[in-house]
Amino acid sequence: MMISVKGEDGKPILGFNQEFIDELIELGGEDLLICYQCGSCTAICPLSEVFNISFRKTIKYAQLGLEEKLLKDTTPWLCYACGECSDTCPRNAKPTNILAAIRRYLTIKYDWTGLSRALYFSKKAEVAGISILAALTGLIIYLFHGPMVLERVELETFAPIHIVEPAGIITLLVLAGFLLSNIYRMYKFIMSDAYPGVKIPLSMYIKEFIKIIPTHFLTQRLMNKCRERKSYWYTHLLIFYGYALAFILFAVVLRYTQTNLPFLFVDPVSIFGILSFIFLLIGSSLAIYGRIRKTQPIWSFSHSTDWMFITLLLLVSLTGLLTGIFRTINWPLPTYIIYSIHLMLVVPFLALEVPFAKWSHLAYRPFAIYFHRLRELTYELAPVKEARRELIAQPITGGGG
């Protein structure tokens, strides 16, 4: 149900979208309407000073069902879910969970395919998506695998590199295309609130990109500003770098990892694989334990997509390790079987998580900081002093360390 208030020109100036609010509640913002706008979340959060933002205002947009306002708002992505606001909220409204629900909703809106909506609002769609992609991968392996040498392990003979490598590259390019198109939609939403008529020079686009994206993508350093729960940052980094190492091993040096040679624990490439497994195992185990025991505010509510991400991540890392162990002890048939299962898990994990679900926030968050800065620049470059006084945020440089 949409209730709107119109101005003299007949255009709506205020709307109350009950369907939108119901969806936010379903996505984890169950305490949305408990909040009474005291502003303690903004006051307690150290990042509100870095960006000069108001979490209270964002939650107010959500309470009023102002979807268009939220689509232009970078604030939900500038929250790193440390949970200090939830600890101090006098109404126990759990602002951390409300902002997480808004991020899930924004992920749905950035995606033009509708797959994110299906994953976030239907557990059946999640299970079906994983099952179908895993089954298709298994069928392709069954139809196109090479000879199964049983005297010794010959992994490259079983899974020829001239088939696996191009297939992997094509898959990654397609997924990158989906993710980049979603990021472009995010850019259009956010920059629609930029100062009208001001064009940012290309040199500034490049300069700010270099300054912001690599740093915030690789370090998530603003999470370090969480005063009480730095362990959450460490867990996040373990999962991120474990995944990054696995990605490099799969996408960049696959022809050096998928060979007929035994998996040697002293080989440099194998050592990277072991480190990847250790990081992922520790990080995912801590996250699973935290979500089960609800040890931190961000883990007090777990959406089904959170469990999908962390479970697939753990299974992918375990099957990858078992593949290496079976290669080392020279068990041919178990190696081929567990490697096939590994690929059957990797494909749905990448295809669903990277552009459409939990993993995508690793891209959306640094780009939100980047777009936040670009939008700010349009006000700084505005030709009149009055426009400059309308700055929507202070510079983020210098305060993000």
Residues 134, 319 contacting (CB under 8 angstroms) = no
Integer Cα distance of 81 and 353 in angstroms: 20
Structural domains in the chain, sorted by start? 2-110 (1.10.1060.10), 115-364 (no CATH)
Q: Is the pLDDT of residue 315 over 50?
A: yes
Task: Quote the tokens at residue 181.
Answer: 């198109």
- 398 pLDDT tier (thresholds 50, 70, 90): very low
Integer Cα distance of 223 and 182 in angstroms: 24
Q: What's 72's DSSP letter? A: T
Distances in Å between the Cα of 388 and the Cα atoms of 69, 331, 378, 392 are 21, 69, 9, 9
Of 56-65, 184-193, 246-255, the least confident: 246-255
Tens digit of each residue's pLDDT (9 = 90 or more) over 140-155: 999 999 999 999 999 9
Name the residue type at position 46: P
Interval 320-335 mean pLDDT: 91
Non-local CB neighbours of 316 within 8 Å, separated by 6+ positions = 246, 280, 342, 345, 346, 349
Residues 363, 346 contacting (CB under 8 angstroms) = no
Residues 96, 40 contacting (CB under 8 angstroms) = no
Residues 322, 338 contacting (CB under 8 angstroms) = yes
Integer Cα distance of 360 and 139 in angstroms: 28
- pLDDT at res. 4: 47
Interval 115-126 mean pLDDT: 95
Of 150-154, 252-256, 349-353, 355-359, the least confident: 252-256
Residue with tokens 């699973």: 288
Instruction: Considering only the C-alpha atoms of the chain, give the largest distance between any 2 of them, rounded to a whole number of Å.
Output: 83
- pLDDT at res. 6: 47
Task: Quote the tokens at residue 164.
Answer: 């696996």
The 3 state secondary structure assigned to 185-238 is HHHHHHHCCCCCCCCCCHHHHHHHHHHHHHHHHHHCHHHHHCCCCHHHHHHHHH
Interval 86-109 mean pLDDT: 93
Interval 111-139 mean pLDDT: 96
Report which secondary-structure segment, H or E, holds 13. strand 12-17
Task: Quote the tokens at residue 16.
Answer: 């109350």
- 15 pLDDT tier (thresholds 50, 70, 90): low
- pLDDT at res. 214: 95
Q: Is the pLDDT of residue 3 over 50?
A: no
pTM above 0.85, yes or no: yes
Tens digit of each residue's pLDDT (9 = 90 or more) over 36-74: 889 899 888 888 877 778 899 999 999 998 899 999 999
